[in-house]
Amino acid sequence: MHGDGKAILYSVILIFSCVAVAAVIIKTKAFGSLTSEVARKIVHIGVCNWYFIWRYSFESDVLAILGLLTAAVANTVVTVKSGNKRWGLTYYPLSIVFIIICTAYLKTGTYVSAGVAILGMGYGDGLAALFGRLCTEKNYKKLSKNMPHSQGKSLGGSLAFLVTVTVISMAFGFPFHLAVLIALAGALCEAYTPYGLDNFTVPGVLFIISTLLERI
């Protein structure tokens, strides 16, 4: 099978695997009151691993972009039909399109900064939401407090984001002090982006900051 054909197949398998795991979690109510949130974030975190398919399997960035745009349209239709006012599922693939265009065509970033942005958003935001909910459920008073003047983002969630993105940045070769700077910029953006636009702004900020710091 051609490289792009394999990449498309891998993409479909990844998406359906994440959705299937989420469906099983919802059906079994495996996490009690947190079941719905865990299921959503399993998909959110799982699909960000598409970065590796893009990097190592796709030969055509055009096909990768078309796939993401298709996902954005499909997610928009689902959002409208369900009456859900959360547009994160639309912003998410669009943010990755922006990163791919910058990396592949504008030559303003690398696979490193793209990886930090895409995986940082997926794992960082996903684990932040889960840890924030857990702190509230367990009544960890200090960690469940909202960040000052934030859009309902908890201290515990922001801390989880900070740690996660720091680890991811270091895994891509950034020294600790620069990794913390990248993570801090992303955490502040995640906490203070209004109107639920963080699925677009956070990967953008992570990409820009890591691109700039990579040149140091």
- Over residues 124-149, the pLDDT tens digits come to 999 998 988 888 777 777 777 878 77
Quote the pLDDT of residue 99: 97
Confidence of residue 16 (pLDDT cuts 50, 70, 90): very high
Give, as one character, the DSSP assignment of residue 138.
T
pLDDT of residue 151 exceeding 80: no
Alpha-carbon distance values, 37 to 8, 26, 44, 143, 174 (Å): 28, 10, 10, 18, 31
Cα dihedral 6/9/15/16 (nearest 10): -150
Confidence of residue 2 (pLDDT cuts 50, 70, 90): low
Q: Say how far apart CA 126 and CA 163 lie, in whole Å.
A: 13
Tokens of 51: 């970065």
pLDDT tens profile 51-94: 999 999 999 999 999 999 999 999 888 888 877 767 788 899 99
Quote the pLDDT of residue 147: 80
Q: Say how far apart CA 167 and CA 4 lie, in whole Å.
A: 31
Span 18-37, mean pLDDT?
93
DSSP for 60-129, written as a single string:
-HHHHHHHHHHHHHHHHHHHHHHT----HHHHHHHHHHHHHHHHHTS----HHHHHHHHHIIIIIIHHHH
pLDDT tens profile 168-185: 999 999 999 999 999 999
